[in-house]
Amino acid sequence: MHVELSRREFLGVATTSLLGAASVIGAESAPEPIIDIHQHTNYSGRTNAQLIAHQKALGVTTTVLLPAGRLYGLDADCGRNDTVLELAKQRPREYIFFANEIANIPEAREELEKYLKLGAIGIGEQKFKVACDSPEFQRVAEVARAFNVPILMHFMHNQYNTGIERFHTVLEKFPTVNFIGHAQTWWANVDKNHDQKVMYPSTKVTPGGITDRLLSEYPNMYGDLSAGSGLNFFTRDEEHARAFVERHQDKLMFGSDCNDVFGRGPGCQGANILANIRKCASSKAVERKILFENARRVLKLAV
């Protein structure tokens, strides 16, 4: 008798067979999913083919592309909204994207809304010369609130999203918007004794800095471990990093933000950050939260 299986039934059979095969080979042979919440198109001139190879080498299964605004290229010639939409359309199973625009131009709202309607799942990275509690940044937060998406922010003293000591007022004003902190001034402020002029401090950390407090006290504040600043957070004081990762295990997310073409080895910052997360997580469960589960939840991904 010929039996027509529905697609669902067929997938069920296929999955069972695959699971059977996996248990024979050993479950560890299946690659673990990893979400990278911080990459860019055309990063310092890197092509899409080189980016795709980089992410594969790194072991990333889902990549969030963060576009530049209409000017400045995020200071690294990064591609704009149209470029991240294009790559996500070509490889929808692996690439998803945020929308972005310069915060302090009149067209910001319209441009953000256009790409959010085209499928962007967040806003950022916001790396523009405004105060983090300015009316201009708050207009971006209003768009995030209306679309129920997070905002990823580059905090850099005297440069971008300035005034981190006042950011708690924004968290209080927009309790339904999730904010993801990133970059020099975000990570340096894990230290209670941080000197705001220093971008990559190498001193031991006294817990209780601005970043530590924002993550502890505000359910809508998250941290992006990408870039030299995220790596520096691990290397400046490993003992502190272990305790910090434990305490904020539900708030931290892996990101690479590196512009190399390797995706592995000492020349790849993302690979170094991955290694440090694996070293500092107290258990496999904590590691999985930071490499996958937190991003899946905060970005509301169906992966």
Shortest Å, Cβ 239 to Zn ion: 26
Q: Going edge to edge, which strands form the sheet with 35-39?
A: 35-39, 62-65, 95-97
Q: Which is nearer to Zn ion, 59 or 207 (CB)?
A: 59
Q: Which stretch binds Zn ion (CB under 5 A): 93-101, 136-144, 191-199, 251-259?
A: 251-259
φ and ψ of 271, to 5 deg? -65, -40
Q: Is 194 in the site for Zn ion (CB under 5 A)?
A: no
- Of residues 125 and 249, the one with the C-beta less far from Zn ion: 125
Interface with Zn ion, residue 270, by CB under 5 A: yes
Nearer to Zn ion, 183 or 295 (CB): 183
Burial of 10 (0-12, 13-18, 19+ CB in 10 A): exposed
Stretch that binds Zn ion, among 83-91, 145-153, 235-243, 266-274 (CB under 5 A): 266-274
Candidate residues 133, 260, 287, 293; the one interacting with Zn ion per rule CB under 5 A: 260
Whether 78 and 46 have beta carbons less than 8 Å apart is answered as no
DSSP state of 124: E
**CA atoms of 236 and 243, how far apart (whole Å):** 13
**What are the phi and psi torsion angles at 61 (to 5°)?**
-100, -25
Q: How far is the CB of 120 from Zn ion (least distance, A)?
A: 17
Asked whether position 258 contacts Zn ion by CB under 5 A, the answer is: yes
Q: State yes or no: residue 268 binds Zn ion (CB under 5 A).
A: yes
Q: Is 286 in the site for Zn ion (CB under 5 A)?
A: no
Cβ distance to Zn ion smaller for residue 234 or 286: 234
Q: Does 40 bind Zn ion (CB under 5 A)?
A: no
Site for Zn ion contains 245 (CB under 5 A): no
**Least Å from the CB of residue 180 to Zn ion:** 11
Indicate the burial class of 264 (C-beta count within 10 angstroms; 0-12, 13-18, 19 or more): middle
Tokens of 206: 């006294």
Which among 173, 118, 177 has a CA at the least distance from the CA of 153?
Answer: 177
User: Is 154 a residue that touches Zn ion (CB under 5 A)?
Assistant: yes
**94 or 243, CB closer to Zn ion?**
94
| Exposed / middle / buried, residue 262 (Cβ in 10 Å: 0-12, 13-18, 19+) | middle
Contact residues for Zn ion, defined by CB under 5 A:
154, 183, 258, 260, 268, 270
